[in-house]
Amino acid sequence: MKYCCIRGVALLLLTGACLPGIADSDGAPASPALQAAPQEQALPADATEIKRPWTTSLYLENDLFGETDQNYTNGIRLSWVSPNLSSYRDDPAVPALINNVNDRLDRLLDFRTGLTRNVVVSLGQLIYTPADRDATALQVDDRPYAGYLYLGFGFHARTSDRLDSVGVNLGVVGPAALGEQAQDAIHDLRNIKKFQGWDNQLRNEPALQLVYENKLRLFNQPLPFGMQHDFISHAGIALGNVGSYLNVGGEYRIGWDLPEDFGTSAVRPAGDNSAPGSGDTRLILSDSLLYGLHGFVSVDGRLVGNDIFLDGNTWRDSHSIDKEYLVADVSVGLSFLVRQWKVSYGQVFRSREFKGQEHHHEYGSLSISYTW
């Protein structure tokens, strides 16, 4: 059961040549639009193109998909990515501050050809618990109980093969983050036994995190049977009392009609990378069912400076535990497009985060994006 999604990815990729609209039953490619590397597609006669698209995304991560209920146990985020602000540069309705940020980032990032700009607004919550749900006393050899509720503001500057993201997350860690209430509601809904040690959670603390991440599409090439593959690298830095780290990684994708975006989204900071670029089938409104299918493998490694969910409160005494300074995530999954929708699911395997942790952690990550 726990590895069914991985087997499913392999099965779907191996049998994809038999899927309607991707290839005929004899294995010959059936749709010219799906045969080669990304290119501008001719619009169907009944189609219109979304000129100034918004993208709304919902992200759900939970370790029940990994048949556990501990450590990073639940994450949720709702985000909105604006249309390309470049087309609004002379619009008096756009605040001067945004255009000033545009100009400064243009000079800082030093690339302009084909540049688009987007504002990102997100609302999210993370929940962490130790392993023993029945213990009411402080579990000194396990991680603290913690909830984190935040509002994020970000800015994207992108070309067809590069995405630079800067952002700030403002929120609260502690009881005010409503981690206990959110987890209890989920457990009530699924008739799961509740955790009893929330009285030991981290204390209330204002939370701030500044984030920058760069993504590069290093290649995008055609393959036989109308397939294609690409690789997207990423590298970034985060600073704040919530967490500070350097991270680096990448994502390999293989399938049919890869979306013109920057990979599979996740709840982590700077994870909003699923908004479509020009030529993406999600920008086409049509009665035809345009879609793509691909599998992915992604890796992210972090050099951790501070982590409030392990180090404890910054200015007050609280439960803490010695952390690991090097942490890695590996995700394997499947993504598909249906008209203006992109749906992705990945199984994430995370290395040990603190000293004495018995084993690596595993959870599922589901993202659903809609462009309108």
Low-confidence ranges of the chain (pLDDT < 50): 1-41
The pLDDT, as a whole number, for residue 115 is: 79
Structural domain count of the chain: 1
Say what the pLDDT of residue 313 is.
Answer: 97
To which residue do tokens 């599409």 refer?
217
Return the pLDDT at 95.
67
**pLDDT at residue number 27:** 38
**What are the CA-CA distances from residue 87 to residues 82, 84, 92, 99 (Å)?**
12, 6, 12, 11
The pTM for the full model equals 0.83
Token reading at 68 = 């556990």
User: How much of the chain, in percent, has pLDDT values that exceed 90?
Assistant: 58
Looking only at the bridges linking them, the beta strands covering 361-371 and 162-173 are: unpaired
Q: How far from each other are the two terminal CA atoms of the chain, in whole angstroms?
A: 36
pLDDT of residue 53: 86
pLDDT confidence of residue 296: 97
Which residues, including other chains, have CB under 8 Å from residue 275's CB and lie 6 or more apart?
53, 55, 81, 118, 156, 261, 369, 371
The CATH code of the domain that includes 130 is 2.40.128.140
pLDDT of residue 47: 63
pLDDT at 344: 94
pLDDT at site 310: 98
DSSP H stretches of helix in the chain: 4-15, 96-109, 179-190, 308-311
For residue 289, the model assigns a pLDDT of 72
Full residue range of the structural domain in which residue 250 is found:
4-371
